[in-house]
Structure 1
Amino acid sequence: MATIDSSTNVSCSADSRSHHVTSDVDIFVPFNWSMKEIKDAIPPHLFVRDTIRGLVYLLRDLVLAAALWKASGYIDPYLGRHTDGTYTLSNLPLELVVPRADFYGIWVIGHEFGSAAMEPSPRLGSSAIRLAMFCIQRYGPPIFLGKYLITGITATTHQWNGMKSSSHEIDWDEIFGDTPIYTLFILIRQQLLAFPAYLLANVSGQKRYPRFTNHFNPNSVIFNKSHRRAVMLSNAGILVMILAVFWSCQKYGAISVLKRYGIPWLAVSHWFVMITYLHHTSPHLPHYRNNEWSFQRGAAATIDRDFLSWQGRFFLHDVAHFHVVHHFFPQMPWYNGAEATEHLASFLGNHYMRSSQPVFKELWDTYNECQFVDDEGDVVFYRNKKGESKRRAAS
């Protein structure tokens, strides 16, 4: 298992982009194992799916979310009896603590059913997805997305066509990019708005998609014909929710709706973006181009993180703690991920990546360390603003 060493850098001249080693550096050599060899390292019983167990987890999350939602409604009345009229906004941070990660956990369950990791029956799996996503429609992405993501994420996130090192016109990021306050602003914007922007306008999505690609057009290039009915049903659900939010604002007031609906919606978006970003972004992860890419190399180009300690394991169903194995075997039940990861890490050795660093610190460090990749090369690594990288591919 590879460990993260922040002291290792390879620098690159900002003008010439010529590489020179500033200290001992990890030289990366891609592996050549087949998927069969990797799968044979995992005990067969870990692939067995238990439908009842999956539904029990879904029921547990729904009951927990309902209980926390109900409990949050007592905060205003309780504080109102013990404070003056300033409590309505001053207790907002307390209310934000109540139901947040549990709603994203329900989304994870829907995602697991979408990948057939909970139930081999497509009909039952689709029904469970709709139940889970209906319950969090107001907090998360379109209903179909939990199923759609699993069909495209491996092919679209690891075959790298991302930021390049070429010069570009001066913009605000070029002017203020080195200032911490600007970096903080960009991170907050990313955490709150990146997912809606991705859904609405394909921001950070595939460059090959046509202009105005989005996740709400049933005829979008993103989807197959089999997805269209689900997209239309999801759009109908979103329309109903928009009307419900408008009605709630009229009846209960905008502040109440903001606290009980708006903030939770953004919170689920935040968790989704943060977890996805930190899974697939690290200066230690390779990015492949052209013939160097394969499914198994792409699956290994992800990193497990100890996300929020036991809370992450309980509320988020190990989605961050044991994510690499999910990329290799999407249909493996998440509750077998811990044991399967032990076998996978033993087989992959230094090609398995894990970080135990605090995740919010990792979010900051990763954003600053992962700024661009070289224009040339079929195996590349992120570089920071000074042109330094943590690893380099063998010549």
Structure 2
Amino acid sequence: MQSNLIEPIVPDSSAFERERLPFTIQDVRAAIPKHCFEPSTWKSLSYFFRDVVIVAGLYAIAAKLDSWFFYPIFWFMQATMFWALFVIGHDCGHGSFSRYKWLNNLVGHISHSFILVPYHGWRISHRTHHKNTGNIETDESWYPVTEGKYDEMQWWEKFLRFDLTLLLAYPLYLFRRSPERPGGSHFHPASPLFRESEKWDVITSTIWCAVMVALVAAGTFTWGWLWLVKFYLVPYLGFVVWLDLVTFLHHTDDEIPWYRGKDWYFLKGAISTIDVDYGLINNIHHDIGTHVAHHIFLTIPHYHLLEATEAIKPVLGEYYRKSNRSIWAAFWDAKENCHYVSNTGSNIYYRSK
């Protein structure tokens, strides 16, 4: 059903003048010790093997106990470890895991296929996100709708987008991409997400995921549907919640500015994110909460992000953002107060009616 509301005309994006930050990306880079940019293959592998051993150990304990008293604990812990594996694959996708492309691709496929993420398909679309962070018109993930679009949405559309699917959106994104963007599946080589030269990378990752689906199906056939629910489906859904929660928090806050047209450039967009403290989970999910430094320099390994963050704080000054609220308080505030941005202008912020 079409609404009769007419969204105000957005001026040509080229009309916005580019306002420069008081520092350059070279200034920020110079503040970071050089060793922070150097990945250690063995150190990266140690984190990967640590995660694999913990995942295997949790499965062994759960199978041994087979207790409904233990399963809720197992589900939370295993979902968190699935998320940790995703972050390992995330480093592989950025090339910060090692200097060896073949190793990055191998570990990335193992880490991501296990949790049904097409490594290359995700890697390529994630590249688009990093190249366009903070740009209302071209960002790939968690970008705002305009006030005009928000007013046109039916109540059920708002409920679906801002409530029901908020923490379960990732599988939908993999198959359909984000709303208001050209459609396309991360599993299909002909998707508009990909170049012709990336076709076989996408096919390779889809095959890896298909093999994982076949293994899960074989396990279900052998041990039954309850096995699927207890040992894979619930931890997988928990992983999806973790992924959506973390990425939502890093890019949805009423203190984060959004830009249009020529007013946007890479560094302004890169610092249009916010660091979040996850407490005891920080080390488990590889300090992904240090998101500002990661967005500026994608190739810094996760184990150097804390040091890099401390180094860039004096340079960024008031432009460095970190949430001092608890995870759930920050999530609730963003969910309730970050619904749309102005139809016009640049350097604008989330609002809510």
In structure 2, list runs of 5 or more residues that go unmatched: 1-7, 9-18, 138-143
Contact 2:125 2:193 (C-alpha < 8 Å) held by counterparts? no
In structure 2, relative to structure 1, the CA distance for the partners of 1:122 and 1:241 (3 Å cut) is: closer
- For the pair 1:266 / 2:219, whether they are aligned, the reply is no
- 2:120 maps to 144
- 1:166 maps to 148
Secondary structure in 2 aligned to 1:215?
coil
Amino acid of the structure 2 residue aligned with 1:199: L
Amino acid of the structure 2 residue aligned with 1:124: L
Amino acid of the structure 1 residue aligned with 2:154: D
Secondary structure in 2 aligned to 1:287?
coil
2 CA distance for matches of 1:293 and 1:377? 12
- 1:191 maps to 167
2 CA distance for matches of 1:303 and 1:98? 25
Secondary structure in 2 aligned to 1:166?
helix
- For the pair 1:71 / 2:42, whether they are aligned, the reply is no
In structure 2, relative to structure 1, the CA distance for the partners of 1:241 and 1:350 (3 Å cut) is: same
In structure 2, relative to structure 1, the CA distance for the partners of 1:201 and 1:376 (3 Å cut) is: same
2 CA distance for matches of 1:242 and 1:131? 13
- For the pair 1:45 / 2:27, whether they are aligned, the reply is no
C-alpha RMSD of matched pairs (Å):
2.3
Q: C-alpha displacement at 1:131, in angstroms?
A: 3.0
The C-alpha deviation readout for 1:256-285, integer Å capped at 9, x for no partner, is 211111111111111111111111110000
Contact 2:186 2:193 (C-alpha < 8 Å) held by counterparts? yes
In structure 2, relative to structure 1, the CA distance for the partners of 1:124 and 1:269 (3 Å cut) is: same
Q: TM-score when scaled to structure 1?
A: 0.77
In structure 1, list runs of 5 or more residues that go unmatched: 1-16, 18-28, 80-86, 386-395
Amino acid of the structure 1 residue aligned with 2:291: H
- For the pair 1:347 / 2:311, whether they are aligned, the reply is no
Secondary structure in 2 aligned to 1:379?
coil
Contact 1:326 1:337 (C-alpha < 8 Å) held by counterparts? yes
- 1:319 maps to 288
Contact 1:104 1:272 (C-alpha < 8 Å) held by counterparts? yes
- 1:31 maps to 21
Amino acid of the structure 1 residue aligned with 2:314: S
Secondary structure in 2 aligned to 1:354?
coil
2 CA distance for matches of 1:329 and 1:43? 13
Secondary structure in 2 aligned to 1:107?
helix
2 CA distance for matches of 1:258 and 1:317? 27
2 CA distance for matches of 1:160 and 1:345? 26
Amino acid of the structure 2 residue aligned with 1:171: Q
Larger displacement relative to structure 2 (372-381 or 45-54): 45-54
In structure 2, relative to structure 1, the CA distance for the partners of 1:100 and 1:383 (3 Å cut) is: same
- For the pair 1:361 / 2:329, whether they are aligned, the reply is yes
- 1:115 maps to 94
- For the pair 1:56 / 2:25, whether they are aligned, the reply is no
- 2:306 maps to 338
Counterpart of 2:225 (choices 254, 263, 272) is: 254
- 1:128 maps to 107
Amino acid of the structure 1 residue aligned with 2:239: V
Counterpart of 1:102 (choices 68, 81, 90) is: 81
- 1:213 maps to 184
- 2:207 maps to 236
Contact 1:69 1:98 (C-alpha < 8 Å) held by counterparts? no
In structure 2, relative to structure 1, the CA distance for the partners of 1:56 and 1:93 (3 Å cut) is: closer
2 CA distance for matches of 1:256 and 1:128? 27
Q: C-alpha displacement at 1:113, in angstroms?
A: 1.8
Q: C-alpha displacement at 1:358, in angstroms?
A: 1.2
In structure 2, relative to structure 1, the CA distance for the partners of 1:92 and 1:64 (3 Å cut) is: closer
Secondary structure in 1 aligned to 2:340?
coil
Contact 1:369 1:384 (C-alpha < 8 Å) held by counterparts? yes
* Aligned 1:367-386 pairs, distance under 5 A: 367-385=335-353
Q: C-alpha displacement at 1:301, in angstroms?
A: 0.1
The C-alpha deviation readout for 1:313-336, integer Å capped at 9, x for no partner, is 22100011x111011101111111
Highest CA radius of gyration, 1 or 2? Answer: 1
Contact 1:304 1:354 (C-alpha < 8 Å) held by counterparts? yes
Amino acid of the structure 2 residue aligned with 1:71: I
- For the pair 1:303 / 2:274, whether they are aligned, the reply is yes
Question: What count of residue pairs does the alignment treat as equivalent?
Answer: 329
Structure with bigger strand share is: 1
Q: TM-score when scaled to structure 2?
A: 0.86
Contact 1:302 1:353 (C-alpha < 8 Å) held by counterparts? yes
Q: C-alpha displacement at 1:121, in angstroms?
A: 2.3
Structure with bigger helix share is: 2
2 CA distance for matches of 1:359 and 1:30? 32
Identity of aligned residues (%): 27
Amino acid of the structure 1 residue aligned with 2:282: R
- 1:14 maps to none
